[in-house]
Structure 1
């Protein structure tokens, strides 16, 4: 058990109201062993060479000296002698200077077992489990090459946008290069047909959530920029020159043929569908490094692809991708997983993260969340095909980001409502205190993400099909949220774009800022096209003016209303406390981190000092620094 010193209790409270951070740092950096209470000896024998740990913030020599002095001053022992560096002599083990004491919390609301120093009345040690729960702070024992230390943090947020980094409308979006949307436990699977995540966030059956799909697409776009080029292992290019195909029986057939559609050689396969899954024409893979499987394939009949993988649990799993399956995903509870990938009368590039598919299958539940499993892949063993078709470019690689990006952008493009311009969210949404949103509601965050995604898709592909969709996406910004749009007005003055078009309006901060970033990306795209000498159509000229006006209106509101979201020690998620006259809805630390990153980005595109000011204040809250009090 780790316990906490309370010397100087009143002075600490008067200085910062920052009790947990100061108290934990004082003692926890000294007494770090998980066997803290053994035999009433609170500090183990510690030699300074054990503390050559990795840290950017503390000089190991300084920390070692602090710990040495603590041991010598307090006589902390743990069943062995303490070396006195001054005299070189060994002192005999001392009895513990600490005794048990009951701690009454808030006039006996709770009684907990604490420790008191016999000689210092103000030295009280409280259990870490109590401190963590009472002050909502975080910590854990970390291990470094045989040495362990306790690591405390006021918040669990770690990823922030760098305000020194210049933002580009066609570059990395915020911190999305750190997003791993498909591994979230509220993602049921990445669908085999569309190649996008299916959400269970607000319903266990699963539904397409436009915001999540856009985040999936942009995360892969961003990783394609920030990561090293993928490492690829190619197993078949249509020539069969070095591939290792084996056939289940004489009815199975594979051969290399010329294909006029691709102007190259491909593999033609013919395997009876009467064979059980996993049997047919098999290509040996034996990959122990990469996890992303991809292939170009054209099924002439129904058929299947089956991947055999060896898991870290020493099991061999069969992942079957079927053109005609009864369910999107299924698992037999043992070793077989099925995915529906749909039929395809033309060539398609099929790419799957095998590790994600394995974990989603094994982790299947009937609840909203996928059960977390720790299985990793030791080897991708083989590929087996059934049915009749053509196959080419069998590859396993470290990543296939742009395939996933384009899958997401295609979904965004194809599922935009051609009348409203929005992406209807087909699940009921209930927010406490507000009227429920029936399926089909629109979100300003979805509009912003849709704009940001399609802007990048247009820049990458130069496909003009994205231009009318971008123009159309502005429409919900102009329609009141009460009439199916996302536009609201605060205090009859400030324009706001609603993430949740509730009644009354909820004014969610992060979703509003995302809607502004989409407008910014779009207006910058059109402006850059003009600057490059490209003639804009009349429709795009009008869209540029409209997007600019919508953005400017929103930014004026944000600058005026931003202080309403500052609680003095954290940020506030929305304005329900004003709208519903309730307690404020405080932002979780991950949402607080999003607020910080959003302000950091805005400070790079707008020189108003309010963004830097609030960014710095809110960053301080993550370290326990509070606003001043009277």
Structure 2
């Protein structure tokens, strides 16, 4: 009996040990997610790679010693719990919780056979200026912008070659800020990128036209002399897409098509594309006021009405395909569509007309820059502005269609000044100078000027009542004024100088109102409306930094560099000291 009692006691203890062992989970001792010898931060990743806590080799997965951790509940603010893990004196909280709670970012990355977790306090990037700002040069860091690929760009208009925006209006509208950014980004890319690869397909100089395929006796091509442009190719073909047009085969992996054309009848320019899995798609540029549509494998862009005058036409076929297919795909799939194109296989013409300077290239940035500049010249109204024809709501504030934006004025002026510098065409400078008018008109009277505390002049991105005082839009408006004052002459220069100096005086006195100790405010609505502050997202925070770093190259006041350095530190988790 005594033996049985001892046996029962031993069995009970053994069973209890087994249960406790099951409750505690084994972990690879070489797994850096859990094993810690010390908690010393190391800055150099090369140094870290030699440390077993830094990364785990993919091949090092066998014959490990187990290390134990305990599960523990973490009580958050006495409101709810999160499952955590306890290892000695350390408690580990799931990063998925930390990410949401603290608005930080991170992911597991792989490099050279090693795995590590990369923590980022912010997701955006600062681009310090490489040179002193100049109206001849790159605009901020816009060489990194790709306006046309944005989801809020419905397409690039076939009528005027500028973006059509769905921002604040799904029907599509001309948004001057987006158009100016489109032009400034291509101008900046032109200055910073290598020269594009260009293949001339047709320039009218060669009498040998055998590259053009004539499918029937109803089609013909010949070289003629045009009094406007010189030698060009004249073509005749049925104008119906149901009939064969004249075609030229293309064997090139570039996607930017440019040509000069003049149609004398109804007609179409058709591009044939080969995409993955051998599928064929067609993009038709037709004389129609319909913006964009798709039917099966056929995408249509409207060219507007037949003008019977010469027109220069540049298209990024990859973007046109992506936007066309995007009409029937989800947002996730849209971003992948451009990459599935293998090549352009042909260009076909229907109708009667003339064509010249047909090229295929890797880029045509200046063409797209001038498309934006010409749109701004053609659509500036008598008040010198570019009205935004959709309603805009900012919290409890509302702007009716037809409002003006100081940011639109500034970026448009920066674009127009650059177009003038390159061409010396006075129409661009005249339009830029006309843009000064709205800076002198109060926002209550339909202009863009406001006063903070009745003292400091501010040029409003959104001219609401009461004012919202958006920082990034204000600084863009100042850059436009700077560009005009550097190029204009006489009274126009004096006016631009006065408006610029007045704005800079306000910026120097108000900049620190936007510092919240761990980031920046997007605007000052919390002061003017008495509502919750509107914190700037990290991409807007870095825009603020990029802007004041740029300002620091043309204004020596130490405020700008000191403030930029502090705001950069916020992106790494630093905060202003407390009391």
Q: Is the pair's TM-score, using the shorter chain for normalization, greater than 0.5?
A: yes
What residue in structure 1 maps to residue 238 of structure 2? 272
Q: CA deviation at 1:471?
A: 2.4
Q: CA deviation at 1:468?
A: 2.8
> What is the correspondence of 1:489-568 to structure 2 with a 5 Å cutoff?
489-526=451-488, 540-568=489-517
Does structure 1 residue 129 correspond to structure 2 residue 96? yes
Paired residue secondary structure (1:465): helix
Distance in 2 separating the partners of 1:548 and 1:182: 33
Q: Aligned partners of 1:374, 1:225: CA distance in 2, in Å?
A: 28
Looking at structure 1, the residues matched to 190 and 29 of structure 2 have their Cα atoms a distance apart, in angstroms, of: 49
Does structure 2 conserve the Cα–Cα contact (< 8 Å) formed by 1:447 and 1:515?
Answer: yes
Q: Distance in 2 between matches of 1:160 and 1:369?
A: 28
Deviations 1:504-541 (A, max 9, x none): 00000000111111111111113xxxxxxxxxxxxx41
Compare 132-141 and 186-195 and name the one that shifted more: 132-141
Render the CA deviation track for 1:378-398: whole Å, top value 9, x for unaligned: 111111110111112221101
| 8 A contact 1:328–1:340 mirrored in 2 | yes
* Structure 2 contact 158–302 (Cα < 8 Å) conserved: yes
Change (3 A) 1:568 1:243: farther
CA distance in 2 between counterparts of 1:291 and 1:148 reads: 38
Q: Give the structure 2 partner of residue 151 of structure 1.
A: 118
Structure 1 pair 314–138 and aligned structure 2 pair: CA distance change class (3 A):
farther
Aligned to 2:75: 104
Q: Which residue of 1 aligns with 2:270?
A: 306
State the 1:110 CA deviation.
Answer: 2.8
Give the structure 2 partner of residue 58 of structure 1: 44
CA distance in 2 between counterparts of 1:45 and 1:604 reads: 48
Write the distance in 1 (CA, Å) between the matches of 2:55 and 2:234: 75
Deviations 1:131-188 (A, max 9, x none): 11111111223333554432221111124232x5211122111111111111110000
> Aligned-pair distance for 1:57?
6.6
Separation (CA, whole Å) in 2 of partners of 1:411 and 1:296:
18
Query: Following TM superposition, by how much is the alpha carbon of 1:427 offset from its aligned partner in structure 2, in angstroms?
Result: 0.7
CA 504–252 in structure 1, closer or farther in 2 if over 3 Å, else same: same
**SS of corresponding position for 1:102:** strand
Contact kept, 8 Å, 1:318 with 1:336, in 2: the verdict is yes
SS at match of 2:183: helix
Contact 2:133 2:553 in 1 (8 A): yes
SS at 2:552's partner residue?
A: helix
Q: Residue 35 of structure 1 corresponds to which residue in structure 2?
A: none
1:202-601 paired onto structure 2 within 5 Å:
202-238=168-204, 239=206, 241=208, 244-264=211-231, 266-276=232-242, 279-288=244-253, 290-312=254-276, 314-324=278-288, 327-332=290-295, 334-342=296-304, 343-364=306-327, 371-376=334-339, 377-418=341-382, 420-434=383-397, 436-526=398-488, 540-601=489-550
Contact 2:260 2:313 in 1 (8 A): yes
SS at match of 2:234: strand
Aligned CA distance change for structure 1 residues 114 and 369 (closer, same or farther; 3 Å)? closer
Preserved CA contact (<8 Å) 1:331 1:338: yes
Structure 1, residues 395-430: CA drift from partner, whole Å, max 9, x if none?
110111111111101111111112x11111111111
Query: What is the rounded CA distance, in whole Å, between the counterparts of 1:309 and 1:391 in structure 2?
Result: 21
Greater Rg by CA: 2
- 1:558-585 deviations in whole A, cap 9, x for unaligned? 1101111000000000000001111110
Q: Is the 8 A contact 1:500 1:508 kept in 2?
A: yes
Q: Report the CA distance between 1:242 and its aligned residue.
A: 7.0
Write the distance in 1 (CA, Å) between the matches of 2:437 and 2:153: 29
Relative to structure 1, the CA distance from residue 180 to residue 69 in structure 2 (aligned partners, 3 Å threshold; closer, same or farther) is closer
C-alpha distance in 2 between matches for 1:471 and 1:178: 28
Determine if contact 1:204/1:366 at 8 Å carries over to the other structure: no
Measured on the aligned residues, the alpha-carbon RMSD in Å equals 2.4
> What SS does the corresponding residue of 1:372 show, helix, strand or coil?
helix
Measure how far apart 1:362 and its partner are. Answer: 0.5
- Structure 1 SS opposite 2:360: strand
Distance 1:275 1:490 in 2: 60
Moved more, 444-453 or 98-107: 98-107
Shift, 1:372, TM fit? 3.3
Q: Which runs of 5+ in 1 are unaligned?
A: 1-38, 47-55, 82-92, 527-539
C-alpha displacement at 1:469, in angstroms? 2.0
CA distance in 1, matches of 2:346, 2:355: 15
Shift of 1:344: 3.0
Query: Is the CA contact 1:187–1:370 (under 8 Å) kept in the aligned structure 2?
Result: no
Within 5 A, what are the aligned runs for 1:3-152? 40-42=26-28, 58-60=44-46, 62-67=47-52, 79-81=61-63, 93-107=64-78, 109-117=79-87, 120-121=88-89, 123-144=90-111, 146-152=113-119
State how far apart, in whole Å, the 2-side matches of 1:189 and 1:233 are: 26
Instruction: Using structure 1 for the length normalisation, give the TM-score.
Output: 0.82
Q: Which residue in 1 is equivalent to 2:9?
A: none
Distance 1:468 1:58, change over 3 A: same
Q: Is the 8 A contact 2:487 2:493 kept in 1?
A: no
Deviations 1:320-371 (A, max 9, x none): 11123x5210112x32110011223111111100110010000116999994
Is the Cα–Cα contact under 8 Å of residues 254 and 270 in structure 1 kept in the other structure? Answer: yes
